[in-house]
Amino acid sequence: MAVKIFFPTSCSAAENGLLIGRWMADHRSAVILAVLHFPFIPGNVKCYLAQLQQSTGLNLSVLGTWSYWKAEKDEKMQTFFDDLSSIFNHQPWLRIVRDTSSKFWDCNIERSGSEDQEEVILLYCDQRKLMLSELHFVTEKSEIASVFNTVAKSRPLFSLDKYDEGPVKLTHWQSDGMEASIIVELAKHVSFPLCTFLSLFASLLTNFFSARILSGKPLSFLWSKLSTCEQLGKRLEHLRLVTSTERAKDHTQFMRKSNTFVSLLLDMVLGVLLISWLYRENRIGQLANILLPVADRVALELQELLQWLMGAPAGLKMNKALDEVLGRFFMYHIHLWISYIRLMSPFIESILWYIGLSACLGLSLALSILSDIIALLTFHIYCFYVYGARLYCFKMHGLSSLWRLFRGKKWNVLRQRVDSCSYDLDQLFLGTLLFIILLFLLPTTALYYLVFTLLRLLVVVVQGVIQLTIELLNTLPFYAMALRLCRSYRLAAGVKFRMLEQQSGKPLRLLMQINPLSYGHVIQIYRLPTSQYYPKDSWGTLCKKLFIGELIYPWRQKGDKQD
DSSP count for the chain of H helices, then E strands: 17, 15
Within the chain, all domains assigned CATH 3.40.140 are found at 3-171
Split at pLDDT 50, 70, 90, the class of 331 is confident
Looking at every residue in the chain, the average pLDDT score rounds to 80
Residues 6 or more apart from 330 whose CB is under 8 A from it? 306, 384, 387, 448
Mean pLDDT of the 558-563 span:
43
Q: Is 559 exposed, middle or buried (0-12, 13-18, 19+ CB in 10 A)?
A: exposed
Task: Give 373-377 contacts, CB < 8 A, sequence gap 24+.
Answer: 374/459, 374/462, 374/463, 374/466, 375/227, 375/459, 375/463, 377/295
Helix, strand, coil: what percent of the chain each, to 5? Answer: 60, 15, 25
pLDDT, tens only, 357-366:
888 888 998 8
Q: What CA–CA distance (Å, rounded) separates 458 from 378?
A: 11
Judge contact between 343 and 335, C-beta under 8 A.
no
Q: Provide the 10 A C-beta neighbour count for residue 287.
A: 16
Give one DSSP letter per residue of 228-261, joined into a string: HHHHHHHHHHHHHHHT--SPPSSHHHHHHHHHHH
- Listed residue (305, 337, 308) closest to 458, CA to CA: 305
The whole-number pLDDT of residue 70 equals 56
What does DSSP say about strands 29-37 and 3-8: parallel, antiparallel, or unpaired?
parallel
Q: 3-171: what fold?
A: Cytidine Deaminase; domain 2 (3.40.140)
Q: What's the pTM value of the predicted model, to 2 decimals?
A: 0.79
Where is 31: in which H helix or E strand? strand 29-37
Give one DSSP letter per residue of 503-545, joined into a string: -TTS-EEEEEEEEEPPHHHHHHHHPPPP-SEEE-S-HHHHHHH
Where is 445: in which H helix or E strand? helix 425-475
SS3 at position 169: coil
Q: What is the signed CA dihedral for 164, 160, 65, 2, rounded to 10 degrees?
A: -160
Q: Flag whether pLDDT at 558 surpasses 70.
A: no
HEC-encoded secondary structure of 131-147 = HHCEECCCCCCCHHHHH
pLDDT, tens only, 103-152:
667 787 877 555 566 788 889 999 888 988 988 888 878 899 999 999 98
Of residues 507 and 189, more confidence is placed in 507
Q: Flag whether pLDDT at 43 surpasses 80.
A: yes
